[in-house]
Chain A
């Protein structure tokens, strides 16, 4: 069964610093995909970045990058040069190739301090 763990319930980071949000996962399927989503205080869910288990390089999207360590089963989200607008809940999610369920972690609430 899939399992996603986000161990940081909350984080406080100074504006302009880099942020790493942790995500570990558990699967026996060699083929899977990992997703990160942002949920601002307004409530909408915003897709940020995707990493496939067979992708050769770590995914990047603007200020977002994924530190993918397959052997350790971790897929940490890195936000470079944080901004006040990055304050939000962040969720990690996974889908296995053999299962159409997309399972989410419990999330990390990020606070960016001015």
Chain B
């Protein structure tokens, strides 16, 4: 199993450009999520999904869109990049939604810089 994969690893965008961060998992996990990590802020939840076709907003959803057309893929779209979106983005998955003792599996992250 490859686990959770994210592409690209690094990206530089100009203000106003759009792009999609890709996330895929091969573990048949129901639950997937996107976080951004900024210095001193910990991880903040952007969007999450409890299954194919179902998505919901997290703590900081503005400026981001997601979709979940398959169990495996959960892309994150930046509609019009802003310097405030400069961050490290993590995708994560876990076997199911709801309370359970399994932690999330995290991807390696995408470092995004918006100039």
Measuring CB to CB, which residues of chain A are less than 8 angstroms from any residue of chain B?
6, 9, 31-33, 35, 37, 43-45, 47-48, 50, 52, 91, 93, 95, 97, 100-107
In the assembled complex, the CB of A31 is this many whole angstroms from the nearest CB of chain B, namely 6
Q: Which of A43, A101, A102 contacts B104 (CB 8 A)?
A: A102
Contact of A91 among B31, B42, B88 (CB under 8 A): B42
In the complex, identify which listed stretch (B13-21, B69-77, B79-87, B95-103) lies at the interface while the others stay far away.
B95-103
A-B contact count (CB 8 A): 62
Flag if B40 contacts A106 (CB, 8 Å).
yes
B33, B40, B109: the one contacting A102 at CB < 8 Å is B33
| Interface, chain B (partner A; CB < 8 A) | 31, 33, 35, 40-45, 48, 50, 56, 58-59, 88, 90, 92, 97-106, 108-109
B-chain residues with CB within 8 Å of residue A6 when the two chains form the complex: 42
CB <8 Å contact, B99 and A97: yes
Instruction: Give the CA-CA distance A41 to B97 in the complex, in Å.
Output: 29
Instruction: Give B14 Cβ to nearest chain A Cβ, in Å.
Output: 25
User: In the complex the two chains form, is A33's CB within 8 Å of B100's CB?
Assistant: yes
- Evaluate contact between B58 and A104: CB separation under 8 angstroms: no
Residues of A with C-beta under 8 A to B43: 91, 93, 104
Which listed residue, B59, B98, B105, touches A100 by the CB 8 Å rule?
Answer: B98
Determine the distance from Cα of A100 to Cα of B104 in the docked complex, in whole angstroms. Answer: 13
Given contact pairs A100-B48, A101-B48, A105-B42, enumerate 4 new A-B contacts (beta carbons under 8 Å): A33-B101, A45-B106, A93-B43, A106-B42
